[in-house]
Amino acid sequence: MPDSPALSSPGRWRTVDILTCAVLAVAFGIVFWAWNFVWAGLEPVLAFLPPLKGILYGVWLIPAVLAPLIVRRMGAGLLTEGLAATVSALLGSYWGVLVIYQGLVQGLGGELAFAAGRYRRYGTLIAAAAGALAAFGATMWDVFVSYPDTSLWAFKVPYIAFAMLSGAVVAGLGSKALVKAMLPTGVLDRFPAGRERQRI
């Protein structure tokens, strides 16, 4: 299916858009906090190939894609991902306050894909690209801040590649699937995605 254009101005925020991003941020902030334990638990399991842990990244990137797909407003991914990271930090993230800055980088990465479509394209390819770019931003932060002394080719490049694959599939295609699953319920009828459904 080709990318579908948004039906309203991407720069015009409504109260319902802000509240929706805030609710998503709180929900995924809790998910982020829980996923920290999954990461810590699986890291030893993946020790045979350390870069493979990048495949776990996608869950942390979902708000950067899901929020823009729903509210279709410029900055929605950045806002929601940043707020979710803040909630995670307040709950006691393993990485402390640094996770907030990384969340902003992740959100900014996702925004780049939607910006490339001039905030008027929200199809599958854009969603996958947003997830991949959010992962690229996140892992570039990692390789400079958390893993500065690791090998470029033995760790950094494959780590970034695995994370981008996870971002594209879990955050990108996963968010697109979530939106599609919500459409028949009518919960998105106040948003451009829901109004597109009504036009079909």
User: Does residue 5 carry a pLDDT above 80?
Assistant: no
User: What single string gives the DSSP state of each residue in 113-153?
Assistant: HHHHTTT---SHHHHHHHHHHHHHHHHHHIIIII-TTS-II
Using pLDDT thresholds of 50, 70 and 90, give the confidence band for residue 105. Answer: very high
Please check the confidence at residue 111 and state whether its pLDDT lies above 80. Answer: yes
Mean pLDDT of the region 16-45:
96
**Model pLDDT, residue 195:** 74
pLDDT value for 6: 47
How does 47-82 read in b/e, with b if 16+ C-beta sit within 10 Å?
Answer: eeeebbbbbbbbbbbbbbbbbbbbbbbbbbbbbbbb
Instruction: Give the model's pLDDT for residue 95.
Output: 81
Residue-level pLDDT at 198: 53
Question: Using 50, 70 and 90 to split pLDDT, how confident is the model at 2?
Answer: very low
Average confidence (pLDDT) over 163-174: 98
Is residue 103 scored above 80 in pLDDT?
A: yes
The yes-or-no verdict on residue 82 having pLDDT over 50 is yes
